[in-house]
Amino acid sequence: MKTVQFIVQDMTCSQCVIALESIEDILDGVERAEASLRRQMLKVEFDETKTSIEQIIAVVAHKGYKLTKQP
């Protein structure tokens, strides 16, 4: 398992948090997605053999948010 943190642009409410955390149900290999409205962050724990950072970013972009991977 790999854990990556992202900065989220355009997250404004609790519904945004729910939308971002729903990637657990959309992407095979995502074990946990935890969004913080206050910190404008998304933390994702995933299996690199089943999904990638690029796929996570693409799914989130489709939901209307832009992610920037934290170093």
- Residue 51 Cα distances to 8, 13, 55, 63, angstroms: 19, 27, 6, 17
For the cut 90, the answer to whether the pLDDT of residue 7 exceeds it is yes
pLDDT tens digit string along 14-58? Answer: 999 999 999 999 999 999 999 999 999 999 999 999 999 999 999
What's the pLDDT at 70? 84
Intra-chain end-to-end CA distance of the chain, in Å = 17
- Residue 43 Cα distances to 16, 48, 62, 66, angstroms: 14, 15, 18, 14
Residue owning tokens 């990638």: 52
Residue 27 CA to residue 39 CA, distance in Å, equals 24
Domains and their CATH numbers in the chain = 2-69 (3.30.70.100)
Give the pTM: 0.90
